[in-house]
Amino acid sequence: MTVPALQLEGLRKSFGKTEIIRGVDLSIGRSERHAIIGPNGAGKSTLFNLITGRFPQTSGKVRLHGHDLAGMAPFEINRRGLSRSFQITNIFSNMTVFENVRCSLLWSQGYKYSFWNMVSRSRELTEGAMEILEQINLTSRAQLPAGVLSYAEQRALEIGITIAGGADVIMLDEPTAGMSHSETDYIVELIRKVTENKTLIMVEHDMGVVFGLADYISVLVYGEIIATGRPEEVRANPKVQEAYLGAALEAEH
């Protein structure tokens, strides 16, 4: 049996007295597209932040390709092949689009903290960045400051930055939040294209996106996973329907 790409064991997180994540066990296989859904306040973003080392967990384990990530800083986790995007657009807005992508290539191309190489002299860097820009359809925008792009373009750039480093586990936090229909379609197509043969974990509200993209779905309610499985299984699960709809209704009122 192969080691799963990402494995969570009894993961818990408390803020003060409030327990937000209450023992999550989850195993995500390689090259799987896995969506985490759940009502508002279920702890999806917290779960993301725990996995990527943004917050330290209270107890439990996170394993990436079998390695325990406990106590690792975000950059160390990233170097082990996990990359993420953010719910709120998080790019280098004063730098050009091209620079944004090129910066995200540096570590994976082995430049590390080098101060003896000129970035502009590396054909691999330039070509690699242009290739990514090609993939996310931003070639024509390469020389603009990232801050002036449209919202959808900024989201696309964010995805571009996330995948550029060549990580094999990609985590996207609500990639289509706040987008129009056509923009959503564009982004979904983009995600499908760039995560080919990679492990994808995403949090998403738009059920159309979830059921269109995901191979597996996990449902997180009040810090616990109540169901995991193929989209059709999850859809049919009465427990999910009850709990999810109930919680969703509660959250709305």
Could you list the residues that contact another protein (CB under 8 A)?
52, 54, 73-75, 78-79, 83-84, 86, 90-96, 98-99, 102-104, 106-108, 111-123, 126, 130, 142-143, 161-162, 165
Closer Cβ to another protein, 130 or 248, answer by number: 130
How many C-beta atoms surround the C-beta of residue 186 within 10 A?
Answer: 19
How many angstroms separate the CA atoms of 65 and 81, rounded? Answer: 9
CB of 168 to another protein, least distance (A): 14
Comparing CB distances to another protein, the nearer of 10 and 74 is 74
- Least separation in angstroms between residue 129's CB and another protein is 9
CB of 122 to another protein, least distance (A): 7
Q: Which is nearer to another protein, 164 or 225 (CB)?
A: 164
CB of 242 to another protein, least distance (A): 35
Distance in angstroms between the alpha carbons of the first and the last residue of the chain: 46
Shortest CB 98 distance to another protein, Å: 6
- Considering the complex, state which of residue 52 and residue 218 has its C-beta at the smaller distance from another protein: 52
Q: Which is nearer to another protein, 85 or 228 (CB)?
A: 85
Rank residues 18 and 120 by Cβ distance to another protein and give the closer one.
120
Smallest separation, CB 74 to another protein (Å): 4
Q: Which is nearer to another protein, 84 or 226 (CB)?
A: 84
- For residue 35, give the amino acid letter: A
Question: Could you give the dihedral angle defined by the CA atoms of residues 177, 216, 18 and 54, in that order, rounded to the nearest 10 degrees?
Answer: -70
CB of 149 to another protein, least distance (A): 15
Distance CA 231, CA 30 (A): 18
